[in-house]
Amino acid sequence: MYENYMREAIKEAKKAERIDEVPIGAVIVKDGIVIARAYNLREKKQLSTAHAEVIAIEKACRKLKTWRLEGCTLYVTLEPCAMCSGAIMLSRIDCVVYGAKDPKGGCIDSCISMYEQSGFNHYPTTISGVLEDECSELLKSFFKNKREIQKKNKQV
């Protein structure tokens, strides 16, 4: 079940990769239907908040005509950062399913466990590691290609 929706998030990540964005994709599901899709657009928009999760949350809010995304599950290819983890809590998303861990910025399990901090009024459930290898490989190959291009440009 989780794998099918994660594959949809991976499709979004591949769209980002095609336009030379870091390949991160997200989908939001409510009642078994994908209601929002998004991918990373930070470079294209030159906007630090243009993460896949934030864009997907904005689309879902417009679609449902509410800021409360109760009953929704967010699928994302990379563990959300602090900003995205906060947006997920504030939008009242019920569950977050992610693929690859982010040891340099993930705020669900890696750098901090934001959803284990006391005092917030909403905590989503989380499921990690869904299609982790595939999600991780997308990122690894993207950055490997970037380094190879950079190396070739230095040699010219």
- Separation CA 36–CA 29 (nearest Å): 7
Distances (CA, A) of 102 to 16, 119, 123, 153, 156: 18, 24, 20, 28, 33
53 in catalytic set: yes
- Separation CA 150–CA 156 (nearest Å): 10
Q: How far is CA 128 from the centre of its chain?
A: 12
For residue 33, give both structure tokens.
């239907």
**Of 17, 53, 79, 132, catalytic:** 53
Angle between helices 132-155 and 2-18 (to 10 degrees): 10
Positions marked active-site:
53
